[in-house]
Amino acid sequence: MNKFQQILNSFSIKKTLNPKIWENPEDPNKSTMVPKVRKALERIADEFIEYLGDEVFVDDVVLTGSLANFNWSEFSDFDLHIIVDLKQYEDDSELYKELFNLKKQVFTDENNKILTVEYRDYKLIENNFYPQKVIINTKNNEKELKINLNSKIRRINEKISFPFKIPNGYKKLQL
């Protein structure tokens, strides 16, 4: 069985919710989220809502994904959705466009490592919006690395090359 099929098969219906995430996982009427998990998800939602700014009214925060369901597996995750009624912005086309652009992604793991990717300064190129600036920030308990990427993309789907020679003393890695 290939890896894709193994992952797909792992998402079978279970008799309980994931016990690492839920207290009383066997009874959906009595189950509650483990407080540590709930606080972490609330922190992520609050940080993103704060990042959106004061001019955005958030209607709801919705949690979906297989960890919020009975079809969880070792490959499961949550999907945290910030719900905004875009009708409130019909007269403000700039804000409306900004809300449709991806602004930020935050990834964490069980070892408290955090990867944040921010997308800024969108530009219309060939009828699509692309970020001109991407900021990648990674943190673990002791170290932090920040990478600022500034795009100079002017055309899409054009063949490009990156001439590069492996320096003496180094070997090419096959990924």
Would 142 be classed as within a structural domain? yes
Q: Are residues 43 and 14 part of one domain?
A: yes
Same domain, 89 and 105: no
19 with 89, same domain: the answer is: yes
Q: Share the mean pLDDT of the chain.
A: 83
**95 falls in which pLDDT band (50, 70, 90)?**
low
Pair 51, 64 in one domain: yes
Indicate the number of domains in the chain: 2
The tokens describing 123, both together, are: 């530009």
Q: Is there a single domain that holds both residue 11 and residue 31?
A: yes
Domain co-membership, 71 together with 130: no
pLDDT digits (tens, 9 = 90+) for 135-165: 999 988 788 899 998 887 777 777 777 777 8
Higher local confidence (pLDDT), 92 or 166? 166
Structure tokens at 55: 């001019």
CA dihedral sign, ordered 110, 19, 41, 13: positive
**Residue 71 contacts residue 12 (beta carbons within 8 Å):** yes
| Mean pLDDT, residues 114-118 taken together | 87
pLDDT score of 36: 93
In a domain? residue 163: no
In a domain, 69, yes or no: yes
State which amino acid sits at residue 2. N
Q: pTM score, two decimals?
A: 0.57
Boundaries of domain holding 17: 1-99
